[in-house]
């Protein structure tokens, strides 16, 4: 059983963050025993929390989900592409196709991981061709959506790395030398080591 006591405000903020991730944002925690979705419990005392290390099982997934919810770039991009397709369907886009074209191009240019996936197969057609034949734009967006959906988990993990890298520097999976499988690296470095260390003792 682990017991962690309250300390200064920064440490206490860490405890609140830890509980928020474990309980997936649940806000009605109470003093005493609180049950996680996996059935394990954490005891919240007046100035401490107490738990078995096994409560960390699944923490990596919860941690990545929590971080991603603060950033959500991949989902916002997919939603944006669907909005463009809907405008094309309603024929409201054609009046201002140049603006949508430039906005999509800008979003892709600033989404390096997605851009890498797109480079392998296809490029955005030139604007003058799209103006002459808007169907090219629709076809391109459909391909982009297909690539984004197919690689969504990789894009999400990359988004989490970008978001957390700005906060924490280059620890564990945030290190620049790590270029894939970010969640697995985090799980190996933290969750697995803590849980497995307990099982050895």
Cβ–Cβ under 8 Å, residues 2 and 50? yes
The 10s digit of each residue's pLDDT in 62-121 is: 877 777 777 788 889 999 999 988 887 777 666 678 888 899 999 999 888 888 888 866
State which residues of the chain have pLDDT below 70. 92-95, 120-121, 163-183, 189, 191, 198-201
Strand, helix or coil for residue 49: strand
Distance from C-alpha of 22 to C-alpha of 4, rounded to nearest angstrom: 15
Distance from C-alpha of 89 to C-alpha of 194, rounded to nearest angstrom: 52
Ramachandran quadrant class, 109 (left: phi over 0; alpha: psi -120 to 50; beta: rest): alpha
C-alpha dihedral, 176 to 72 to 16 to 199, nearest 10° = -60
| Structure confidence at residue 107 (pLDDT) | 92
| Structure confidence at residue 179 (pLDDT) | 59
């Amino acid at each position: 059983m682990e017991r962690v006591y309250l300390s200064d405000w920064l440490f206490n903020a860490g405890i609140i963050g830890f509980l928020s991730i474990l309980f997936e944002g649940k806000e009605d925690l109470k003093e005493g025993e609180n049950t996680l979705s996996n059935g394990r419990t954490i005891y919240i005392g007046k100035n401490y929390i107490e738990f078995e290390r096994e409560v960390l099982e699944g923490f990596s997934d919860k941690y990545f989900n929590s971080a991603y919810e603060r950033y959500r770039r991949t989902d916002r991009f997919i939603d944006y592409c669907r909005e463009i397709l809907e405008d094309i369907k309603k024929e409201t886009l054609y009046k201002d196709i140049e603006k949508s074209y430039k906005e999509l191009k800008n979003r892709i240019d600033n989404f390096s991981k997605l851009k890498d996936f797109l480079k392998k197969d296809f490029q955005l057609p030139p604007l003058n061709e799209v103006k002459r034949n808007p169907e090219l734009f629709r076809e391109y967006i459909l391909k982009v959506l297909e690539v984004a959906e197919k690689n969504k988990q990789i894009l999400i993990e990359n988004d989490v790395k970008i978001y957390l890298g700005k906060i924490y520097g280059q620890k564990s999976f945030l290190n620049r030398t790590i270029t894939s499988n970010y969640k697995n690296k985090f799980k190996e470095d933290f969750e697995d080591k803590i849980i497995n260390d307990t099982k050895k003792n």
